[in-house]
A and B are shown apart, each in its own frame.
Chain A
Amino acid sequence: MTDSKQASAFKEQTPLRAKISSLLSNQSVVLLITLVVLGSFFQWGSDGIFLQTGLLGTVLDEWGSYILLAVGQLFVVITGGIDLSVGSTVSLSSVVAGWFVVQQLQKGADITGDAALPYVLLIAVICLLVGLLVGLLNAFLINKLKIVPFIATLATMGASNGIAVMISVGMPLQGPNDWALGAPWMIGDFQLPVSTMVVATMVITAIAGLFLHKSRFGLYTYSLGSNPFATRGAGISVEKQIVKVYMLSGGLAGLAGAYSYVRLGAGSNTSGMGMELYAIAAVVIGGASLMGGVGRIVGIALGTLVLFVVQSGLLTMTVVQVSPDLKQVIVAILIAAAVAVQTLQKKNGRK
């Protein structure tokens, strides 16, 4: 082979390889591939049950109950912080919603059918306010008392949970559980895998994404996590940004509490238990860095989906029986794999 031929062969190879490696360094592409592989695998392993609308509906319903937490957590994680209080905020706000509905029912309110709609909106507002309050408290602890986010939100996590137990006396607060919001959408006789609630969470996620990637609020979120000194030096109030971000995370957790209340038809001090860990897992799997400055909304949406596709998929397996107890182990493996992939991507990027 002559030199020129070798050179041209080399030239042809490099751009393709570079293209592939740059594609693989995009977390969203990796997650999409993962989803396709997992989907096909479970479809095969479940004798074709997995991709049925009913089951997909369950997966998306689970997704909807966690995505708001993951979105809030993403903003916090991008600033270099963490919010451990979101699970307890779900419990607290769902309990407050439950308490509110019980009060209304005792007054003889009609919360059925179309008459339920104003109540749903009220529940959403109440839950949102509860969440915003928890977020504000987090920001206060971080800004004024200079407590690191991990400890500050650990404290509010305990406090919110305690208050939820006190309000509910440890019992689920029952309400009507025939909300139309959770019912799947129909096109004629064909059932879609989404309900109004799931679509609502998708819309909120999309709006949050626009603000994260296109607005000043999002830019400051990234710059705070990337370099707090430079952010302050540019004349930006770091404290204000922390208030906004933790209130966003709290508020979304409150809305997730409303979701949980409507979905289960009851508010319980255990409804959000452990949810913060899934939210953090989803954020990490979605490609965000706990060191701050990195993360995209599409990645988080896909990361959350991967989490629940795996969980539901495993349970539908007919080829091998998988114990539901294995779920947590699988989540742990996913987190480790996601972080390992990130580290490898970084290494390759540096070469």
Chain B
Amino acid sequence: MSREVIYEIKNASKRYGSVVALDGASLKLHAGEVVGLVGDNGAGKSTLVKVLSGAHAPDGGQIFLEGKEVSWESPRQALESGVETLYQDSGLAPHLTVSQNVFLGREITVKGILGKLGFLNKKKMEHEAHRDLEAVGIAVPASNRAVSQLSGGQRQAVAIGRAVSWAKKVIILDEPTNHLGARQAGEVLNIIKNAKAKGLGVIFISHTLPHVLEVTDRIVVLRLGRIVKDAPTAEFTGDTLIGTITGTIQTIKVEGD
């Protein structure tokens, strides 16, 4: 890949008590690239996501954003540096409207003293939420509707749209097509392709292997806390991918392991 490396983690390890959740994992993500992160339950996917998103600090290893070493103290810090994460099933606040969700944590306030007191510019946020979601390929219902009134697919689309429209450099999507029907999952995959076209680096974590094979450029397989395979998607078929995940197919050592 000729593009620049946008996000990189080198030799990361993480223990929870005596459990080794991550054991020397290294991963490179290029701008405009979609990397699939797969592995069985307990392989260390969630831990790696938490380390990459700034939720947990690794015990050892380094993280580089655009070549500069970073160490996240909080998810907020990662967000502000342009690394956006969509966690599994925790994306949206159902009682808030679409636009309130899209702007949560980055509200637009009114001008003047009222703005200093935190009074919000609702109209502007509704307008911009609509525009931003449309820009990433989501046909949104009225942005002043409560999220609880949307269907599961619409909710997920809003959650991803929110993440994609805010992400400046990297976006990490944890099981974004979970619980979705075929058509809705297809829409979500389209949004991922849009994000890629925008030049973002995308990390796509999923159990649904056909989705991984369809949308990614490269697949990274985790097993027991170690990265056992890191190869272009074209080198995998459904069967070899499953074999690599479960360990029935012997894996060659990959770079940095």
Residues of A within 8 A of B (CB): 210-211, 214-217, 219, 222-223, 225-227, 229-236, 293-294
Contacts and interface: CB of A to CB of B under 8 A. Distances in A.
22 contacts: A211-B117, A214-B120, A215-B119, A216-B107, A216-B109, A216-B118, A216-B120, A219-B96, A219-B100, A219-B107, A222-B95, A223-B93, A223-B104, A226-B93, A226-B96, A227-B92, A230-B91, A233-B90, A235-B74, A236-B104, A236-B105, A293-B93
Contacts of A235: 74-76, 79-80, 105
* Across the A-B interface, the 10 shortest Cβ-Cβ residue pairs: A234-B105, A229-B90, A293-B95, A226-B93, A216-B118, A235-B76, A226-B95, A227-B93, A234-B104, A215-B118
A180 B96 CA distance: 44
B87 to A, nearest CB: 6
Interface of B: 74-76, 79-80, 85, 87, 90-96, 100-101, 104-107, 109, 117-120, 122
A214 B114 CA distance: 10
A226 B87 CA distance: 16
Nearest to B91: A230
A201 B255 CA distance: 68
B95 A230 contact: no
A236 B79 CA distance: 11
A231 B87 contact: no
Interface of chain A, main secondary structure: helix
A215 B120 contact: yes
A279 B184 CA distance: 45
Contacts of A223: 93, 95-96, 100, 104
Nearest to A223: B93
Given A219-B96, A222-B93, A235-B76, A230 B118 contact: no
Given A223-B104, A227-B94, A293-B94, A233 B119 contact: no
A22 to B, nearest CB: 13
Given A219-B104, A219-B120, A230-B90, 19 more contacts: A211-B117, A214-B120, A215-B119, A216-B107, A219-B100, A223-B93, A223-B100, A223-B104, A225-B95, A226-B94, A226-B96, A231-B93, A231-B104, A233-B75, A233-B87, A234-B106, A235-B80, A235-B105, A293-B94
A234 B90 CA distance: 10
Nearest to A231: B93
B77 to A, nearest CB: 9
B104 A230 contact: yes
B99 to A, nearest CB: 11
Nearest to B107: A216
B107 to A, nearest CB: 5
A229 B100 CA distance: 15
A157 B90 CA distance: 34
Q: Which of A226, A233, A235, A236 has the most CB of B within 10 A?
A: A233
Contacts of A214: 119-120, 122
A214 to B, nearest CB: 5
B163 to A, nearest CB: 10
Contact of A227 (B85, B90, B107): B90
Contacts of A219: 96, 100, 104, 107, 120
Contacts of A211: 117-118
Contacts of B122: 214
A225 B93 CA distance: 9
A223 B107 CA distance: 13
Contacts of B100: 219, 223
A210 B119 CA distance: 9
